[in-house]
């Protein structure tokens, strides 16, 4: 393998954290990982968007609490403007609003800052491959939320059994939503078009009384699909 080919296979990563004491050591550690190239370090969401626009970028390792533009809004902007770029959240916060906000905005992975280097690099590679990685604390919070969060009277609770009339394909789509895949990632995994994915999502949301994508993640986890 030539040096040029090896360089092409490097995953290009942006590290985003408003604290230089966190951002710079993290970028330095990741730069030592095989197959990963840190192409930029950003202190806020605006800098992330600029780095991605300058591209190419495969993955953004995203802090949530940043000035100017926070991580959730930045993730939402990336999902709309650069859906090919995967986001892995790395934050000290593991509360329900942060987790569901980030996943609902399109993040493919969610780690707390207790994660080690191997966990972080594994999540980066998984996100670049269209997969999702949630650390155990985050999975536990999502499952607890699915079991306890009250729903409006006219909608099924988040841990209600899935209706029997869901098709196998609709269950597959729900499982992949639960893993954090965006519509494009689901389409690629199932070898179908994004339009077909949207049709399946509309059908399963209607059948199961699912309110939004965050609710779909909760239902997938509670049903054992994710």
Residues of 105-122 as b/e, b for ≥16 C-beta within 10 angstroms? Answer: bbbbbbbbeebeeebbbb
Structure tokens at 18: 């408003």
Closest CA relative to residue 85, chosen from 133, 14, 37: 14
- Average pLDDT of the chain? 83
State the pLDDT confidence band at 158, using cuts at 50, 70 and 90. Answer: low
Question: Is residue 199 predicted with pLDDT exceeding 50?
Answer: yes
Q: Would strands 133-134 and 109-112 be described as parallel, antiparallel, or unpaired?
A: parallel
- Tell me what the mean pLDDT of segment 137-164 comes to: 62
Kindly report the backbone phi and psi dihedral angles of residue 158, in degrees, each rounded to the nearest multiple of 5, phi listed first. -65, -25
Structure tokens at 198: 């949207």
pLDDT digit string (tens) for 43-70?
999 999 999 999 899 999 999 889 899 9
- Tell me what the mean pLDDT of segment 188-205 comes to: 89
State the pLDDT confidence band at 5, using cuts at 50, 70 and 90. Answer: very low
**pLDDT for position 138:** 73
Judge contact between 133 and 122, C-beta under 8 A. Answer: yes
State the pLDDT confidence band at 96, using cuts at 50, 70 and 90. Answer: confident
Q: Which of the residue ranges 53-62, 176-185, 207-216 has the most confident prediction, judged by mean pLDDT? A: 53-62
Lowest mean pLDDT among 2-11, 58-67, 169-178, 182-191: 2-11
Query: Which residue has better confidence, 146 or 184?
Result: 184
**pLDDT for position 157:** 52
The model's pTM? 0.62
**pLDDT for position 102:** 86
Beta bridge partners of 25: none
Question: Is residue 219 predicted with pLDDT exceeding 50?
Answer: yes
């Amino acid at each position: 393998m030539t040096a040029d080919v090896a360089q092409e296979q490097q995953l290009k990563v942006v590290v985003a954290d408003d604290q230089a004491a966190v951002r710079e050591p993290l970028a330095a550690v990741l730069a030592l990982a095989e197959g990963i190239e840190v192409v930029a370090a950003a202190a806020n969401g605006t800098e992330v968007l600029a780095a991605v626009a300058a591209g190419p970028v495969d993955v953004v390792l995203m802090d949530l609490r940043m000035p100017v533009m926070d991580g959730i809004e930045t993730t939402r902007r990336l999902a709309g403007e650069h859906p090919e770029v995967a986001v892995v959240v790395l934050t000290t916060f593991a509360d329900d609003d942060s987790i569901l906000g980030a996943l609902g905005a399109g993040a493919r992975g969610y780690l707390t800052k207790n994660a080690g280097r191997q966990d972080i690099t594994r999540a980066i590679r998984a996100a670049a491959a269209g997969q999702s990685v949630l650390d155990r604390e985050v999975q536990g919070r999502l499952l607890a939320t699915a079991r306890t969060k009250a729903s409006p009277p006219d909608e099924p609770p988040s841990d209600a059994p899935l209706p029997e009339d869901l098709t196998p394909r609709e269950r597959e789509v729900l499982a992949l939503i639960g893993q954090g895949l965006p519509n494009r990632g689901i389409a690629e995994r199932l070898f179908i078009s994004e339009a077909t994915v949207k049709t399946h999502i509309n059908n399963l949301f209607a059948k199961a009384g699912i309110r939004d994508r965050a609710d779909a993640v909760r239902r997938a986890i509670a049903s054992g699909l994710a």
